[in-house]
Amino acid sequence: MKKKILLMIISIFATILCLVSLLPNNIVLAENSEDFDVKSYCLMDAKTGILLKEKNSEEKHEVASMVKLMTSLLTMEKIERGEWSLDTMLTVSDYAASMEGSQAFLDAGKSYTIDNLLKSVIVASANDSSVVLAENYSGSETLFVDVMNSRAKELGMTNTLYANSTGLPAFNQYSTAHDIAKLLKVVSKHDLYHKYSSIWMDNLVHESGRVTELVNTNRLVKYYPGCVCGKTGFTDEAGYCLSVEAKRNDMDIISVVMGAKTSNERFSVSSSLLNFGFANFKSVKVVDSTNILKTDKKIKGTKNFVECHSKEDLFMTLEHGNAEGKYQVETQFNDIKTPVKTGDVVGKVVVICDGKEVCSTELVSNADYLTPTYFDAVHSVFDNWSLCAK
């Protein structure tokens, strides 16, 4: 009898011990592992493109309104080329006005500025405004989709296919968490996107005087310190999606979450991922664009080396506490011939980690180097002869 009681006590004690030990591990697991209950996600250093954390980041899924990142990018690039301005007026077709889901409730046959259309796309995820931009960009949304897919290929989005400009459900339209992160990295370089993406609430005033209230669908812009831009998405098939960028000190991180079950979950998972990134990693400048370099070979037919500098700074992602990391910086110079003008590309500098190129930038000349004259060539010959004689 005493033996049975003793065994029962030991059994109860062991059960309690298991429960106590499991509880904190589960909490840590939810915060710090890849075991978030979403379809896929990735956390990327926006400066280097290095993935800090991921789950199924190359898995193809519908991404809902995150498609509008590409619609926005193409619009901003057209503005930068001088083909459109923010004051350009675009007319709303019947088809555009018929869009369902999130919308700016545009009036068919009326015209709106690109300023208002793009703002309503980025802030309020307006489907009707997206179609207006697409139709006026290429003549039809179908032709615009061709441009979207072409640009995706240029950006290395190898697992992405677009079928419309809005992200509304469509056959054969998909992307991945990693591809969306690549896209947001490029989109984020445009100040115009930051301008609109940081708006919390605004109004779109129609020609009739009617007002549509625009409310930002990305809560983290207001509630996560350092969040600078992003894009939400939701359909029944895609689930709740979110791509965001946040900056703190010298660190710039992009988080993409796909297929969350609730709106709150996409924001909480994104916040946890960003917290993990800021707590564990840092960006270190490894190439400084202000440093002056010299080519390793003389310009053909001259005794001059080209002084040059990198076109932009390059960074490497390191874990906190790791002062050096495993990376190499290599300079690769072209076969340089005169004339060389200031700003001409003379080579490139590459950051390599584990045998793979992480990032690179062009090396450009700091000065003009003219083609040698006949007398310069003769003088060079005599200089070389003098050196040999010595």
Extents of the domains making up the chain = 40-280, 288-377
Range in 33-42, 192-201, 234-243, 265-274 the model is least confident about = 33-42
Compute the average pLDDT of residues 36-44. Answer: 96
What percentage of the chain reaches a pLDDT higher than 90? 66
Q: Which residues contact 312 (CB under 8 A, 6 or more apart)?
A: 289, 361
- Whether residue 68 is predicted with pLDDT greater than 50 in this model: the reply is yes
Catalytic sites, residue numbers: 65, 68, 125
* Answer CATH for 288-377 from 2.40.50, 2.60.410, 3.40.1620, 2.60.40: 2.60.410
Q: How far apart are CA 268 and CA 30, in angstroms?
A: 11
Share of the chain above pLDDT 70, in %: 84
CATH assignment of 40-280? 3.40.710.10
Distance between CA atoms of residues 1 and 342, nearest Å: 96
Is 19 a residue whose pLDDT tops 80? no
**CA–CA gap between residue 138 and residue 58 (Å, rounded):** 30
- Mean pLDDT, to the nearest integer, of 204-221? 97
Report the mean per-residue pLDDT for the chain.
87
> What is the structure's pLDDT at 389?
53
Residue 15 predicted with pLDDT over 80: no
The predicted structure's pLDDT at residue 182:
98
pLDDT of 374 reads 52
12 confidence band (pLDDT: 50, 70, 90): very low
User: 18-32, 55-69, 147-161: which has the minimum mean pLDDT?
Assistant: 18-32
* Exposure of 279 in the CB half-sphere (CA atoms within 13 A): 9
User: Is residue 316 within 8 Å of residue 286, measured between CB atoms?
Assistant: yes
Residue 159 · residue 180 · CB < 8 Å: no
CA 230 to chain centre: 10
Max Cα-Cα span within the chain: 114
Q: How many CA atoms lie within 13 A of 241 on its CB side?
A: 33
- In the predicted model, what is the mean pLDDT of residues 65-70? 99
* Fold agreement (40-280, 288-377): no
Q: Is a pLDDT exceeding 90 seen at residue 322?
A: no
Structure tokens at 386: 């003098």
Comparing CA positions, the residue from 61, 72, 187 lying closest to residue 124 is 72
